[in-house]
């Protein structure tokens, strides 16, 4: 059974709309991340959270907003969608307060913006 | 910030041959390194963790080398087989919950 659940697996949206990508992890990890993968930028770090606090944000646009309602949840809200936002969005999590713990990845949400 | 360069972007080898993928990084304070495998349409699967105190790690069918002096990390798949065909990514842990990934190497093993 997958330990990091991302929903939905596939998502089609129209330009200008808003979508929320869901991520829940059942590994007991305290840190969660969002990464984006597209043909232009293979695997791009977006956000990291630890104990529901934002640790790092490398996303230039405020259209991307992470939301953490619980320690094991980190959703990603994307507003005013653009075709360039089309990508696979991966959620990941890790345990520990240092980087010796490898992040483990969910199956991804494949977003297409028309 | 940390930058990771991964080479080559594409690699094609015959079954039974070895395949070598190399990453170089810029931050000498980086301590933690990882290799991932991604099959088409799938997620990233952790292959190996490599820590600063370790120079050589061996897994099932592959060897990882870390050269801190040259800031270089390499993955050597020995006797590659078609099931090894995938994209491979190195990742560097830079501290403060951030991992920087290389651009990936698309490996194709020809039977």
Q: B98: which chain A residues are within 8 Å (Cβ-Cβ)?
A: 45, 48, 55-56, 58, 99
Name the 3-class secondary structure at A58: coil
B43 to A90: CB separation less than 8 angstroms, yes or no: yes
Per-residue pLDDT of chain B (111 residues; tens, 9 = 90+): 788 999 999 999 999 999 999 999 998 888 789 999 999 989 999 998 887 555 566 667 888 888 888 999 999 998 999 999 999 999 998 777 788 899 999 999 999
Tell me the nearest-neighbour CA distance from B42 into chain A, angstroms.
7
Best A36, A42, A50, A106 member to test B by mutation, with max B CBs in 10 Å, is A42
Q: CB pairs below 8 Å between A and B: how many? A: 63
CB B44 within 8 A of CB B35: no
In tens, the pLDDT along A55-114 reads 889 888 999 999 999 889 999 999 999 999 999 999 999 986 565 788 999 999 999 999
Exposed, middle or buried by CB within 10 Å (0-12, 13-18, 19+), for A103?
A: buried
pLDDT value of position B49? 84
Peptide bond into A101 cis (omega under 30): no
Q: B46: which chain A residues are within 8 Å (Cβ-Cβ)?
A: 102, 104
In tens, the pLDDT along A6-37 reads 999 999 999 999 999 999 999 999 899 999 99
The distance between the two most distant Cα atoms of chain B, rounded to a whole number of Å, is 43
Tell me the nearest-neighbour CA distance from B93 into chain A, angstroms.
5
Give chain A's radius of gyration (CA, Å): 13
Residue A75: count of CB within 10 angstroms of its CB: 18
pLDDT value of position A84? 94
What are the backbone dihedrals phi and psi of residue B26, each rounded to the nearest 5 degrees, phi first? -110, -30
Is some CB atom of chain A closer than 8 A to the CB atom of B20? no
pLDDT value of position B58? 66
pLDDT value of position A98? 61
């Amino acid at each position: 059974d997958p330990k990091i659940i991302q929903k939905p697996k596939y998502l089609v949206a129209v330009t200008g709309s808003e979508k929320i990508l869901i991520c829940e992890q059942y590994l007991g990890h305290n840190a969660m991340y969002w990464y984006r993968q597209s043909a232009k930028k293979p695997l791009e770090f977006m956000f990291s959270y630890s104990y529901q606090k934002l640790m790092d944000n490398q996303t230039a646009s405020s259209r991307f907003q992470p939301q953490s309602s619980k320690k094991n949840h980190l959703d990603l809200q994307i507003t005013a969608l653009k075709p360039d936002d089309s990508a696979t969005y991966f959620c990941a999590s890790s345990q520990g307060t240092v980087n010796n713990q490898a992040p483990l990845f969910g199956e991804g949400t494949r977003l297409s913006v028309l | 910030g940390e930058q990771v360069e991964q080479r080559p972007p594409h690699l094609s080898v015959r079954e039974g041959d070895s395949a070598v993928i190399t990453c170089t990084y810029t931050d000498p304070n980086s301590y933690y390194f990882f290799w991932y495998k991604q099959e088409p349409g799938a997620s990233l699967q952790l292959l190996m963790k490599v820590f600063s105190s370790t120079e050589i790690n061996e897994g099932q069918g592959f060897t990882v080398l870390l050269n801190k002096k040259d800031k270089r990390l390499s993955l050597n798949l020995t006797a590659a087989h078609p099931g090894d065909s995938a994209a491979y990514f190195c990742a560097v842990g830079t501290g403060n919950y951030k991992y920087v990934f290389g651009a990936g190497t698309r490996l194709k093993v020809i039977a």
